[in-house]
Structure 1
Amino acid sequence: MAILTRFLVRLATTAVTLFGVAVIVFIVVRVVPGNPIAMMLPPGATGADIAHLEAMYGLDKSIPQQFVIWLLAVLRGDFGTSISLRQPVLGLVLGSLPATLELASMALVIAVLIGGGAALIAVRYRDTRIETVVDVISGAALSIPDFLWGLLLIIVFGVLIPVFSISGRISPDLDLNFDTRFYLIESLARLRLDITANLLAHMVMPALSLALPLAAIIGLVLKQSLKETMELDYVTLARTKGYGETRVILREALRNALLPTLTLTGVQFTFLIGGTVIVERLFSYEGLGNMAIDAVINRDLPLIQGIVICFAVIFTAVNLIVDLTYAALNPRLRHV
């Protein structure tokens, strides 16, 4: 019952948050300089042409009126029509979202594996040179932003040692007769390993670029949490039973040390999704982040609003899931 109450409270908070995001984004994209209608018209267009397009996209009304009309339409599932692409916004967003989710998920898996492995090694060989080396590498990974990692990976593995593809999501010559836009998942389900290999060749570098800073954060937090857990009485008792250090870490300390890291990973995953905007552009990856930059350049107000709302829904949903998972795993919070 306590978890259900917590869920309902967080759900109400999420709804308020999404409404606030919608208000802020709607106002901001309309007060910044630039006229999206002027970018659509050829030279020599008349005032009547401009007025016609403004009326078509509802830009001839006041901002409060525009917001009410847009919000009522969104509640019906209509996010409007893209000004630059002349297609429904919802279809464009949902069409690009799977690519971004697959990229972010792969980056998260890589970050957890690298960061978790680094933390375990550092704790297993704590107070030695190995721990110092791990700390130095983690500090370097954390201090370099994801887009700079992307540039370094392109130079090394795209130019000097051309192992991976540096542009796009998949080679255009491949036959993709898929039912969904989740190409990686569907290729695995259909056992189309040739397409899976091609997708991974395009995803490795952008995913690694996103993963390395996150891996450093996960490693540092998990290492500190493990060190604190290793000083507890039940861990000392396990040592007195003759358990080896590796078994003590993996079987006794790791489970309790994971809770703070779980919360941090969930929060950082939302930032990781936001970080795909620059990385996708850098690798010409056909995802939601790349589309967001094009929408901003073209002053495509409906598309910008749709993309931001989509990101906001993902952020709040991930935070809600992490919060409920933490409450379910932590007995002290089940009855709060």
Structure 2
Amino acid sequence: MLSSRALRQIVFAIVTLFGVAAVSFVLLRVVPGDPIAMMIAPGASTEDIARLRAAYGLDKGLFAQFVIWLGHALTGDFGTSISMRQDVVHLIAGRLPATIELTLTALVIGLVLGIGAAVASTLGTRRLVGSTVDNANGILLAVPDFVWALAFVLLFGVAWPILPISGRVDPRLPIDFATSFLLIEGLLRLRLDIAGDVLAHMIMPAMALALPLAAVILRVLKGALESEALQDYALLARIRGASRLRVTLRETLRNAMIPTLALTGVQFTFLFGGTVIVERIFAYPGIGNLAIDAVINRDLPLVQGLILTFGLIFILINLAVEASFALLNPRLRHG
């Protein structure tokens, strides 16, 4: 049976999604501009315009539109894209795997860089090591992800062209995968040519997203490690002869990761928001790039579907973070 805590989380997730759906639905329809005007051909008759508005349900009142849309959405039907004339769910499902692989790669890079730098800075015996790490971290915190993206394009795409600067995979490669998770399926099938090419296209946008994340992880984890090193259990382990490396890796790192995990979960949601600009810069075919096209074309069904997709992703990430808390801190497993 579900615990009361799990039940509360599920109810909160449902209420949050409904709130996101209602607010975004209203806001998208009170913004000036007529999406139908972007679809009609020059010289279209009044009857043609009315027929098109009726086809997309825009001829009814706002409340009636929302009720109709919500009824279809509960069955998995988010309508048809106005600009692309394709099913919204199909469009999002085709682009979402690319963004998931990009953000997961960025998360792994950010965790490796942030945790590694924090541990190295904590164990450094010279003040120069700590000051160098702090100065470098300050730069990483000050530079946003899209600036790193532009810098990588200029450096590794123009000045020293060693990496592809657009797309997700070389279109000349024969790909007959069952899913759109090209990197994951390529590794599982040992199609290293495809996995390597996907990774080559992904590394620059992933690094652009990962560097600010690594900086935040470094700052929080370093402070937590320094605080945990002063606790009685860590001092007792040192008195018993354990090395600083052993105490850090086997004693203090686990406890220091608890606040770091909370922050990483929040920052991971920001990664999905960051993909909107970064994917555009690299012409990466994910939902971030799709969102910009949808907004430019005022494609209401597609924008609405993307907003709910982002909202669902944020909720799932938060639930995963809370579950990880319960694993790291047994006191949170009940309630």
Q: Is the pair's TM-score, using the shorter chain for normalization, greater than 0.5?
A: yes
Q: Work out the number of aligned pairs and report it.
A: 335
Q: Quote the Cα distance in structure 1 between the aligned partners of 2:75 and 2:109.
A: 38
Structure 1 residue 245, shift from structure 2 partner: 1.2
Tell me if 1:96 matches 2:110: no
Tell me if 1:34 matches 2:33: yes
Tell me if 1:324 matches 2:303: no
CA contact (8 A) 1:146 1:209 kept: yes
CA contact (8 A) 1:7 1:324 kept: no
Partner residue, 1:289? 288
Q: What is the identity, as a one-letter code, of the residue corresponding to 2:40?
A: L
Partner residue, 1:142? 141
CA offsets per residue over residues 255-290 of structure 1, 9 Å max, x none? 111111111111110111111011000100000000
Q: Spell out the pairing of 1:247-266 with structure 2 (5 A cutoff).
A: 247-266=246-265
Stretches of structure 2 that go unaligned for 5 or more consecutive residues are none
SS of structure 2 residue aligned to 1:14: helix
TM-score normalised by length of structure 2 = 0.98
Partner residue, 1:5? 4
Q: Spell out the pairing of 1:274-313 with structure 2 (5 A cutoff).
A: 274-313=273-312
SS of structure 2 residue aligned to 1:91: helix
Structure 1 residue 45, shift from structure 2 partner: 1.1
Structure 1 residue 192, shift from structure 2 partner: 0.6
CA offsets per residue over residues 166-218 of structure 1, 9 Å max, x none? 00011111111110000000001111101111001100000000000010000
Q: Spell out the pairing of 1:225-264 with structure 2 (5 A cutoff).
A: 225-264=224-263
Structure 1 residue 160, shift from structure 2 partner: 0.9
Q: Quote the Cα distance in structure 1 between the aligned partners of 2:294 and 2:103.
A: 21
Partner residue, 2:13? 14
Q: Quote the Cα distance in structure 1 between the aligned partners of 2:47 and 2:190.
A: 56
CA offsets per residue over residues 213-244 of structure 1, 9 Å max, x none? 01000010000110100001111111112111
Stretches of structure 1 that go unaligned for 5 or more consecutive residues are none
Structure 1 residue 307, shift from structure 2 partner: 0.7
Q: Quote the Cα distance in structure 2 between the aligned partners of 1:246 and 1:328.
A: 24
Partner residue, 1:211? 210
Q: Quote the Cα distance in structure 1 between the aligned partners of 2:284 and 2:271.
A: 15
Q: Quote the Cα distance in structure 2 between the aligned partners of 1:82 and 1:101.
A: 22
Structure 1 residue 49, shift from structure 2 partner: 1.1
Q: What is the identity, as a one-letter code, of the residue corresponding to 2:242?
A: Y
CA offsets per residue over residues 103-138 of structure 1, 9 Å max, x none? 000000000000001100111126711111101111
Q: Spell out the pairing of 1:70-219 with structure 2 (5 A cutoff).
A: 70-125=69-124, 128-219=127-218
Identity %: 56
Q: Quote the Cα distance in structure 1 between the aligned partners of 2:138 and 2:105.
A: 22
Q: Quote the Cα distance in structure 1 between the aligned partners of 2:284 and 2:21.
A: 27
Q: What is the identity, as a one-letter code, of the residue corresponding to 1:299?
A: R
Q: Quote the Cα distance in structure 1 between the aligned partners of 2:107 and 2:127.
A: 29
Structure 1 residue 27, shift from structure 2 partner: 0.8
Q: What is the identity, as a one-letter code, of the residue corresponding to 1:59?
A: L
Structure 1 residue 327, shift from structure 2 partner: 2.5
Q: Quote the Cα distance in structure 1 between the aligned partners of 2:210 and 2:53.
A: 43
Structure 1 residue 313, shift from structure 2 partner: 0.4
